Amino acid sequence: MSEDKSEEKATDFELTLFDGETLRLSELQGQVVVLNFWASWCPPCRWEMPSFEKTYQEYKNDGVLFVGVAISDFESAALEFAELTGVTYPIGLDTTGEISRAYRVLSLPTTVFIDPRGNIARRLSNVANEAVLKIFIEGQIRSMTGASSG
């Protein structure tokens, strides 16, 4: 399997968060963004949430922002799910499906890693554990700081 090295610009979007704030992707340029698409009715989404929260807590002061995007869900169910799983990073509901369509989300959970230049660095259509998240995040942090391996 070959890896496509072409850069794909991340589609800008505006997401109304559950706390009432509005998040715009273009305002996050310069940060690593971990964009996680999930739903309250998705068991694998529930399994990965503790890893996302723990990794978010570890990297939130290093220019890394996690954003949760609930799709195909009721706002009340998504909010309750987020509270039950203890998520503290920004989350909101893609009410129109526009964001999930723009990112070609075909299954849940799906995670999109966006580099500091606003390009899609990687897509993962599967459960992401802490180790997987850290591999992608550490790679992006190294590229941000100009550190090279080897």
Strand partners, 111: 36, 124
Phi and psi at residue 146, to the nearest 5°: 80, 5
pTM: 0.90
Q: Which CATH number fits domain 28-125: 3.40.30.10, 3.30.70.890, 3.40.50.2300, 3.30.1330.200?
A: 3.40.30.10
Phi and psi at residue 19, to the nearest 5°: -85, 5
Instruction: Output 70 or 7, whichever has higher pLDDT.
Output: 70
Cβ atoms of residues 93 and 70 within 8 Å? yes
Unique residue bearing structure tokens 């850069």: 7
Tens digits of residue pLDDT in 27-57? 999 999 999 999 999 999 999 999 999 999 9
User: CA-CA distance, 70 to 11, in Å (whole number)?
Assistant: 17
The CB-side HSE value for 120 (13 A sphere, CA atoms) comes to 17
Phi and psi at residue 74, to the nearest 5°: -90, 140
Spell out the domain ranges in the chain: 28-125
User: CA-CA distance, 107 to 125, in Å (whole number)?
Assistant: 7
pLDDT at position 150 over 70:
no
Q: What is the largest CA-CA distance in the chain?
A: 49
pLDDT at position 60 over 60:
yes
Unique residue bearing structure tokens 């526009």: 98
